[in-house]
Amino acid sequence: MFLAAPRRTGKSTFLVHDLLPELMARGATPVYVDLWSQKSADPGALINEAVRKVLDKQGKGVLGRIRGAGVTKAGLGSWLSFDLEKLSLSGGATLANGLSALVRKGEGPVVVIVDEAQQALKSEAGRDAMFALKSARDTINLDPTLTDGRPAALGLVFTGSHRDKLASLVTGRDQPFFGSRIRDFPLLGRDYTEAYGRHINGLLPPDRRIDASEIREAFDIVGRRPQYLHSAVTRYATGDLGGEREFDSLLQLAQDERETHWDSYRRQWSALDHLQQAVLRRIIAEGDRFRPFDADSLAAYAAAIGEPIGAKDVQQALDGLREQELVVRLERGRYSLEDPSMADWLRAETGPSE
Ligand SMILES: Nc1ncnc2c1ncn2[C@@H]1O[C@H](COP(=O)(O)OP(=O)(O)OP(=O)(O)O)[C@@H](O)[C@H]1O
Ligand SMILES: [Mg+2]
């Protein structure tokens, strides 16, 4: 399963605080790895390490029970038929071997959850690990001794904050999960704003209580990002300490939060030349259909700039946008925003059709 949602909307919190406990409660063994947890580490190594750690922990638990029962000489080697240290290194057991061992020894399904999975494509080892996970899924789920009557014994969940980059794992026949579909990770909604509203109103003086619908609206303004709602509410609750300002409305404060965030887009935008702005607009407007050099695109740039534009100019503009890390080039000439939330800002700032 592939799930995508924008930055800071609560993906990791959901995975760690809701999904992992739920899986364990249902007798599954989760393996969680966040590929952003150590920016400098190789994503492939992080995935292997996560599987190794869970195997190690489970093995030690089992060994503890064996030793407790009076068998003194048992070691991890006797529990596993391979050397854990060499998992997925050359000459060692494969990731699929490791995961099969987890299913067999854990006596329940295993679910591997890779947070910010698009990051795997950043290295050869990361790509290899993704292929290894795919192959493990296929071999394990086709083995009746492992599935044991269940529909599957190995589940894979991949999440990401960049839908287009995540899609790189599923578009193209040469990609590991070709044919899978990316779904929207549901954002926090009414349940959350109502629970939060009850909590906050319990703390505020009666004349400062906030209406549930106002909290909901403020949450929408900040793109359903809890952190920004919290700061708006905190500022609302504390007021303008020592300042001249009247108590602000929550909606105004939510807009302030958003503005702070948007100012950086504004700065980046105003540093671009007209053609770069036109190309960026086109990328946002066309999404997956964007073709930088086709006749329609060239006509759109020309209309925006007021003079004819050639493919060479467009190439230069694209290179500039990539150098400034506003645009990323994906496989097969697909282009996307480096930060997809910039599209929300641009639409709000200038209207969709301009
Ligand atoms: N259900 C929730 N209730 C309250 N706060 C939440 C909830 N979910 C997330 N948060 C808060 O929102 C912020 C962002 O959460 P989190 O890091 O899980 O998001 P994310 O989508 O994984 O972000 P990133 O794209 O940076 O990885 C954190 O400060 C977190 O504490
Ligand atoms: Mg996260």
pLDDT in tens, 215-234: 999 999 999 999 999 999 99
Does 128 lie in the same domain as 28? yes
CA 34 to ligand 1 centroid distance, Å: 14
Query: The pTM is what?
Result: 0.88
Of 235, 261, 287, the residue that ends a domain is: 261
Does 215 lie in the same domain as 336? no
Whether residue 101 has pLDDT greater than 80 = yes
User: Are 162 and 6 in contact, with CB atoms under 8 Å apart?
Assistant: no
CA 16 to ligand 2 centroid distance, Å: 10
Of 141, 164, 184, the residue that ends a domain is: 184
Does 322 lie in the same domain as 178? no
| Mean pLDDT (the chain, rounded) | 90
User: What CA–CA distance (Å, rounded) separates 224 from 252?
Assistant: 16
Does 32 lie in the same domain as 134? yes
Whether residue 64 has pLDDT greater than 90 = no
Does 163 lie in the same domain as 251? no
- The CB of 161 under 6 Å from ligand 1? The reply is yes
Does 84 lie in the same domain as 144? yes
Domain membership of residue 256 as a residue range: 190-261
- The CB of 180 under 6 Å from ligand 1? The reply is no
Most confident of 78-82, 86-90, 231-235: 231-235
Task: Judge whether 33 lies within some domain.
Answer: yes
- The CB of 88 under 6 Å from ligand 1? The reply is no
Does 194 lie in the same domain as 178? no
Does 196 lie in the same domain as 50? no
Task: Judge whether 142 lies within some domain.
Answer: yes
Atom of ligand 1 nearest to the CA of 13: 18
User: Which pLDDT value is given to residue 85?
Assistant: 78
- The CB of 7 under 6 Å from ligand 1? The reply is yes
Report the domain count for the chain: 3
Atom of ligand 1 nearest to the CA of 5: 21
